[in-house]
C-alpha cells in the first residue's frame, strides 16, 4: 500500500486525502489545528463553490451539507456611478446552483470523517526540516498549506505572476439579519463595483450558527476602503463595513436596516496578499521533492471568488493523476505533469482574475453594460464563474466582444 502525506487540512488537502483514502491509499494528514479548534476558531475565507467544483465533492460522497446550505441560483453585478447611484444593475442565472459552506464547518467535518475512516491525523506544525525526513518515509508528500515557511520552498513564477504586491485590501464579515435584494426572488451572489475604489461582494452562506450572509469588501490599497488593517474589535469591523456600504453601495446598505449582527465573535477577517503562481515542485535540503497543491502554487486574488473552486479542481486533478500513476515513482516528472494538468484549467482563472484587478478597458465596460439589456450576456457572465475558459471566446479582445454582442443583440 502506497503511503502519502498531505500537509494542510483545507479544501484541497482534505478533499484529496478523502479521495485517496477511498481508493485504498495509506494517507496521513498533518495540520496545526484539531477539528474542534477549526470549528471554534475564526473564519478562514469567503467561499462560493460553483457547480463543477461541487460535483467533485458529490463524486466522492463528501457533500455533507448540500441539503442545508443555501442554493445560489444567480450572480448579479451593480456598478456605482456619480453620487453613489447605480448606473448598471443586472443578475444572470446559473446553469447549476452554487453554494457556500463556512470552511470551519466543512474542514472540521471532513477532518473528523477522515479520522473515523481510519486515516491518520497528526496535529503539529510542520517545518521544512520535518519534510526532509518525511520525504524519505512516504512515497509522496504534498504541501497544501498555503501560508508560512513551507511556501518558501516553491519559487515564484514571474512569467505567470504580473503582480508582486497586493492589489486589494480584504475585509470579511459573516452576518445574520441581512434582508433580500428586492429585484429577484432567488438567492444570488451580488458583485458591487465601485470604480477606482474597490468591490463589495455579498453571498449567502451556511455558517456555524445556520444560514447567513458574507459581506466582503475588496479595497484598492491606500483608498477609502483600506481601513481595516489595525481593527481588532469584531464589532468595530462590522461598523466600518456597514458605514462603507452606506457611503458607496446604499442599495445594499438598505438590506441592513432591520439590523444585522455578526454570526459569532470569530466572524470577521482582514488581510491582503499578492496574487502569485509558483513553481509546483519544492526541493528539500536533503534532496527530496514535494508537490505543491492549490493555493501553494496558484494563489489568485479573491475578486473572482475562485479560491475554493480552484482547490477542489486541483484536488480532483491530482487524485486522478496519482491513481493513474500506479506503482511508479512519484518523481519530478510526475509532479510537473500533475501540475500542468491542473494549470490547463487554472490558467484561465488566473488570466481572468488578473484582468479584473485592472481598470476595465472600454470593450469590457460595454459588455458589462450590455448585460443589463441582454439576459444572455448576463447569464454568460454568471456561468463564467464556473468555467473561466469561456471568457477566451468573448471577453478579452475587443473584436471578439463586438462579434459576440452582435450575435445576441436584437436585429433591426
Q: Do 380 and 260 fall within a single domain?
A: no
Same domain for 205 and 82? yes
Phi and psi angles of residue 339, each rounded to the nearest 5 degrees, phi first: -65, -40
* Burial of 189 from C-beta contacts in 10 A (0-12 / 13-18 / 19+): buried
Q: Which of these three, 242, 271, 300, is where a domain ends?
A: 271
What's the chain's length in residues? 412
Do 29 and 155 fall within a single domain? Answer: yes
Q: Which residue, of 245, 271, 297, is where some domain finishes?
A: 271
Specify whether 132 is located in the same domain as 15. yes
Q: Is residue 196 domain-shared with residue 248, that is, in the same domain?
A: yes
Q: Are residues 80 and 201 in the same domain?
A: yes
Do 24 and 154 belong to one domain? Answer: yes
156 and 252 assigned to the same domain? no
Residue 352: its pLDDT value, please? 97
Given pLDDT bands bounded at 50, 70 and 90, which one contains residue 412? very low
Binned at pLDDT 50, 70 and 90, residue 164 comes out as: very high
Please compute the mean of the pLDDT values over residues 45-53 and round it to a whole number.
Answer: 97
Q: How far apart are CA 215 and CA 259, in angstroms?
A: 14
Distance in angstroms (rounded) separating the CA atoms of residues 335 and 316: 15
Of 326, 101, 281, 119, the residue nearest 204 (C-alpha): 101
Q: By residue range, what is the domain housing residue 204?
A: 72-100+165-271
Please tell me whether residues 303 and 338 are part of one structural domain. Answer: yes
What percent of the chain has pLDDT above 90?
94
| Grid cell in block for residue 278 | 509558483
Rounded CA separation 358/369 (Å)? 18
**Number of H-type helices and E-type strands within the chain:** 12, 16
Any bridge partners for residue 79, and if so which? 88, 193
* 314 and 371 inside one domain: no
**Cell for 58?**
458529490
Last residue of a domain, one of 225, 253, 271: 271
Phi/psi at 332 (5° precision): -60, -40
Q: Which residues partner with 122 through β-bridges?
A: 30
Strands 3-7 and 140-143: parallel
Q: What integer is the mean pLDDT of 69-78?
A: 98
Q: What pTM, to 2 d.p., does this model score?
A: 0.96
Give the domain CATH number at 84.
3.30.9.40
Residue 248 shares a structural domain with residue 287: no
Which CATH number do you get for residue 43?
A: 3.50.50.60
pLDDT value for 184: 86
How many domains in the chain? 3
Domain co-membership, 247 together with 283: no
Amino acid at each position: 500500500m502506497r503511503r502519502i502525506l498531505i500537509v494542510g487540512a483545507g479544501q484541497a488537502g482534505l478533499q484529496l486525502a478523502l479521495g485517496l483514502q477511498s481508493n485504498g491509499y495509506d494517507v496521513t494528514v498533518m495540520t496545526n489545528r484539531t477539528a474542534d479548534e477549526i470549528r471554534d476558531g475564526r473564519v478562514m475565507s469567503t467561499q462560493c463553490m460553483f457547480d463543477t467544483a461541487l460535483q467533485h465533492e458529490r463524486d466522492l460522497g463528501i457533500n455533507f451539507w448540500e441539503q442545508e446550505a443555501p442554493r445560489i441560483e444567480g450572480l448579479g453585478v451593480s456598478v456605482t456611478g456619480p453620487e453613489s447611484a447605480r448606473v448598471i444593475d443586472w443578475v444572470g442565472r446559473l446553469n447549476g446552483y452554487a453554494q457556500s459552506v463556512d470552511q470551519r464547518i466543512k474542514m472540521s467535518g471532513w477532518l473528523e470523517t477522515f479520522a473515523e475512516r481510519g486515516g491518520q491525523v497528526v496535529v503539529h506544525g510542520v517545518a521544512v526540516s520535518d519534510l526532509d525526513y518525511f520525504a524519505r518515509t512516504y512515497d509522496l508528500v504534498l504541501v497544501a498549506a498555503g501560508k508560512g515557511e513551507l511556501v518558501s520552498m516553491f519559487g515564484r513564477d514571474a512569467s505567470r505572476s504580473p503582480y508582486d504586491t497586493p492589489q486589494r485590501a480584504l475585509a470579511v464579515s459573516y452576518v445574520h439579519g441581512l434582508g433580500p435584494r428586492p429585484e429577484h426572488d432567488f438567492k444570488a451572489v451580488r458583485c458591487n463595483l465601485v470604480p477606482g475604489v474597490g468591490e463589495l461582494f455579498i453571498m449567502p452562506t451556511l455558517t456555524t450558527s445556520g444560514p447567513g450572509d458574507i459581506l466582503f469588501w475588496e479595497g484598492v490599497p491606500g483608498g477609502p476602503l483600506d481601513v481595516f488593517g489595525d481593527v481588532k474589535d469584531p464589532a468595530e469591523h462590522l461598523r466600518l463595513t456597514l458605514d462603507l456600504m452606506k457611503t458607496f453601495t446604499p442599495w445594499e446598505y438598505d438590506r441592513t436596516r432591520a439590523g444585522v449582527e455578526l454570526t459569532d465573535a470569530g466572524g470577521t477577517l482582514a488581510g491582503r496578499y499578492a496574487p502569485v503562481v509558483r513553481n509546483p515542485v519544492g526541493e528539500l535540503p536533503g534532496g527530496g521533492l514535494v508537490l505543491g497543491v492549490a493555493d501553494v502554487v496558484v494563489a489568485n486574488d479573491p475578486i473572482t471568488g475562485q479560491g475554493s473552486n480552484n482547490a477542489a479542481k486541483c484536488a480532483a486533478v491530482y487524485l486522478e493523476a496519482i491513481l493513474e500513476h500506479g506503482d511508479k515513482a512519484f518523481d519530478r516528472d510526475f509532479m510537473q505533469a500533475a501540475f500542468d494538468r491542473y494549470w490547463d484549467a487554472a490558467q484561465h482563472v488566473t488570466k481572468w482574475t488578473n484582468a479584473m484587478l485592472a481598470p476595465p478597458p472600454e470593450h469590457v465596460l460595454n459588455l458589462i453594460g450590455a448585460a443589463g439589456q441582454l439576459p444572455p450576456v448576463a447569464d454568460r457572465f454568471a456561468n463564467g464563474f464556473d468555467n473561466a475558459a469561456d471568457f477566451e471566446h468573448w471577453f478579452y479582445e475587443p473584436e471578439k466582444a463586438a462579434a459576440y454582442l452582435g450575435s445576441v443583440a436584437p436585429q433591426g
